[in-house]
Amino acid sequence: MSLARRQMLTGSLAGGLLAAPALVRAQSRPITWKMTSAYPKGSPFYMDGPGSATDLAKRIDAMSGGRLKIQVYGAGELIPALEGFDAVRAGTVEMNHANSYFWTGKTFAAQYFTAVPFGLNFQGINGWLYDGGGQALWDEVYAPFGLKAFAAGNTGVQMTGWFKKEIKSVDDLKGLKMRIPGLAGKVYAALGVDVKLLPGGEIFPALERGVIDAAEFVGPYQDRRLGLQKAAKYYYTTGWHESATVSELLVNKAAFAGLPKDLQAVVENAAAACNVISEGWCQRNNAEAMDDLIKNQGVIAKPLPADVVKRLREVTAQVLAENAAKDPLTKKVHDSYMAYAAKYAAWARYSEGPYHGSILDSI
């Protein structure tokens, strides 16, 4: 056999061998991961519907051609609601779907990747995360925990909440018993509100029986589902405390690094798709629910008095500054977020602000 012929045969043999693993890989069993959630099975937006955790798993399956399968578990099915951070960190599950502000006990900086009071709106938070250095900071904050996170949903702007009595001044907040979690709870507490922490399912009975005088939950669609309009008539707007609440897809960093590059891209891009799609779903459903609440259910919707908003804003700035001063990484995230917010607001004064006003005026 000539040398050329031998080389040709060897070459074709090598080609055949090179083709084989790809074929085997395509036919091999899919990678199966577990994703837990902080929300119960069947929860609209979080667990069911366009852009939810279940929808995210379906999109990952479809985009990967069935090579990456995500088994979705509601709160309590595999682990308790708020143990996702530790479970993903330990590798018990590969993913968790929740909100990063549940993890402020681990690192206060996590607050900025969900929502901070008087913070960025949906466009603004996406600008910061995708283009303004926010994602890189999220990666930096979670790296010591062996975690990586992506924005995977957004409620859009929430509502201040339900109040049994009208709020006319800052003094009306003193002694008011209100269900409100997180950082906004700390802000209200500084103004004399008696802050109560209650899970979603306990809000309606507490408000109806007068155990609490006021409560915030999410927005018109989710709040109406709990029946809050039957327990309080004043529905204050808008969501100074949660201007565009991000849902978080938390991933075990080592497991993510172990995925082939194309499947990493599938996870990242499916999360980004759900971030946008879920917010679209909220816009329509909130619009319909708000209309129904006002027209058919006797709800009085209005903004908080300007002096109340002013005080809430002042105390928010103090609370954020105090927490940022305690930890250099939180300070770094805070400074990045606030610098971006200032830039965004300066442009929005010429762009979205007047445009939005002109749309509302023309309807």
Query: DSSP string covering 267-292, please?
Result: HHHHHHHHHHHHHHHHHHHHHHHHHH
Nearer to Ca ion, 242 or 248 (CB): 242
Angle between helices 134-142 and 328-348 (to 10 degrees): 160
Q: Token pair 């990456």 is at which residue?
A: 68
Q: How far is the CB of 159 from Ca ion (least distance, A)?
A: 8
For 140, left (φ over 0), alpha (ψ -120 to 50), or beta?
alpha
Nearer to Ca ion, 87 or 226 (CB): 226
Query: How many CA atoms within 13 Å lie on the side-chain side of 199?
Result: 7
Q: How far is the CB of 24 from Ca ion (least distance, A)?
A: 49
Q: What is the three-class DSSP state of 33?
A: strand
Nearer to Ca ion, 183 or 251 (CB): 183
Nearer to Ca ion, 126 or 158 (CB): 158
Residue 206: other Cβ atoms inside 10 A: 17
- What residues pair up with 247 in beta bridges, in sequence order? 153
Query: What is the radius of gyration, based on Cα positions, of the chain?
Result: 24
Q: How far is the CB of 238 from Ca ion (least distance, A)?
A: 12
Number of chain residues interacting with Ca ion (CB under 5 A): 2
Please tell me the distance from the alpha carbon of residue 327 to that of residue 311, in angstroms, as a whole number.
25
Q: How far is the CB of 269 from Ca ion (least distance, A)?
A: 27
- Kindly identify the residues of this chain, within the stretch 88-117, that bind Ca ion according to CB under 5 A: none
Please tell me the distance from the alpha carbon of residue 156 to that of residue 170, in angstroms, as a whole number.
27
Backbone angles phi, psi at 70, to 5 degrees: -115, 120
Q: How far is the CB of 243 from Ca ion (least distance, A)?
A: 11
Nearer to Ca ion, 49 or 181 (CB): 181
- Kindly identify the residues of this chain, within the stretch 166-185, that bind Ca ion according to CB under 5 A: none
Please tell me the distance from the alpha carbon of residue 247 to that of residue 45, in angstroms, as a whole number.
10
Nearer to Ca ion, 94 or 242 (CB): 242
Q: How far is the CB of 184 from Ca ion (least distance, A)?
A: 8
Q: How far is the CB of 112 from Ca ion (least distance, A)?
A: 16
Q: Are 275 and 52 spatial neighbours (Cβ–Cβ below 8 Å)? A: no
Nearer to Ca ion, 114 or 323 (CB): 114
Nearer to Ca ion, 111 or 158 (CB): 158
Q: How far is the CB of 216 from Ca ion (least distance, A)?
A: 5
**Residue 186: C-alpha distances to residues 136, 178, 179, 268 (Å):** 28, 12, 12, 34
Binding pattern to Ca ion, positions 129-168, x when CB under 5 A?
-----------------------------x----------
Binding pattern to Ca ion, positions 230-259, x when CB under 5 A?
------------x-----------------
- The residue ranges that bind Ca ion (CB under 5 A) are 158, 242
